[in-house]
């Protein structure tokens, strides 16, 4: 019995729709996007890398400015992904990062095939959990200040074809 009201209602709804899709606040989807990058943090890699970053003390930390949750992790410096956007390589050399390998949560890096952290002032020990990087093919931790034993768990990595622990203070031999 009130068609004019229906028309008015439709007009208001149409106006709201136009405003909602054209309003400059649509730039707000930027914030949503960054949240969903975290939401898609497969295996917790982003969390693991940002945690590790926050533990670093070297002057080279400024070189890791791309390691920011507002940027997709596949675009971070030192990181490479496969076509399915899984992180397959962490490769950084000669950045003075001054950190410890223990602070990097290896359980998140199931797909890593290349790990190069050479001459970045790493200290402490090599965690046994490095043996969880089951797809690792290339491992270079040379020219750091790593100490302690070479973890026997490295023997679990079936496909490891290149290993360089040169110029560290490690003990023991490759299992």
Examine residue 161 and tell whether it contacts ligand NAG (CB under 6 A): yes
Return phi, psi of residue 91, to 5°. -140, 100
- Binding residues for ligand NAG, how many (CB under 6 A)? 26
Examine residue 84 and tell whether it contacts ligand NAG (CB under 6 A): no
Of 7-15, 24-32, 90-98, which segment contacts ligand NAG by CB under 6 A? 90-98
Examine residue 98 and tell whether it contacts ligand NAG (CB under 6 A): no
Alpha-carbon distance of 32 to 151, in angstroms, equals 42
Alpha-carbon distance of 2 to 13, in angstroms, equals 17
Considering the complex, what minimum distance in angstroms separates the CB of residue 25 from ligand NAG? 18
The only residue of 44, 166, 172, 175 in contact with ligand NAG, by rule CB under 6 A: 44
Give the closest residue to 73 by CA, choosing from 48, 56, 103: 48
Alpha-carbon distance of 149 to 151, in angstroms, equals 6
Pairing of the two strands 79-81 and 87-93:
antiparallel
Classified as helix, coil or strand, 110 is coil
Examine residue 135 and tell whether it contacts ligand NAG (CB under 6 A): yes
Considering the complex, what minimum distance in angstroms separates the CB of residue 169 from ligand NAG? 17
Nearer to ligand NAG, 94 or 147 (CB): 94
Give the closest residue to 145 by CA, choosing from 175, 125, 116: 125
The only residue of 46, 76, 131, 146 in contact with ligand NAG, by rule CB under 6 A: 131
Of 9-17, 23-31, 114-122, which segment contacts ligand NAG by CB under 6 A? 114-122
Q: Which helix (H) or strand (E) holds 162?
A: strand 162-164
Alpha-carbon distance of 101 to 78, in angstroms, equals 16
Kindly list the residues in this chain that would bind ligand NAG in the complex (CB under 6 A): 43-44, 48, 68, 70, 89, 91, 94, 96, 105, 107-108, 114, 116, 119, 128-129, 131-132, 135, 137-138, 143, 153, 159, 161
């Amino acid at each position: 019995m009130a068609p004019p009201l229906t028309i008015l209602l439709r007009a208001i709804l149409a106006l709201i729709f136009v405003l909602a899709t054209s309003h400059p606040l649509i730039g707000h989807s930027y914030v949503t996007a960054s949240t969903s990058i975290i939401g898609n943090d497969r295996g917790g890699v982003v969390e693991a890398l940002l945690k590790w970053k926050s533990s670093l003390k070297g002057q080279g930390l400024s070189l890791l400015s791309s390691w920011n949750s507002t940027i997709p992790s596949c675009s971070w410096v030192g990181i490479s992904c496969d076509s399915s956007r899984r992180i397959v390589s962490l490769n950084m050399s000669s950045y003075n990062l001054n950190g410890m390998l223990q602070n990097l949560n290896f359980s998140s890096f199931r797909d890593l095939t290349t790990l190069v952290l050479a001459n970045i002032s790493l200290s402490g020990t090599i965690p046994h959990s490095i043996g969880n990087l089951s797809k690792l093919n290339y491992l270079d931790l040379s020219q750091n200040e790593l100490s302690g034993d070479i973890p026997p768990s490295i023997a679990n990595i079936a496909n490891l074809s290149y290993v360089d622990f040169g110029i560290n203070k490690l003990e023991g031999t490759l299992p």
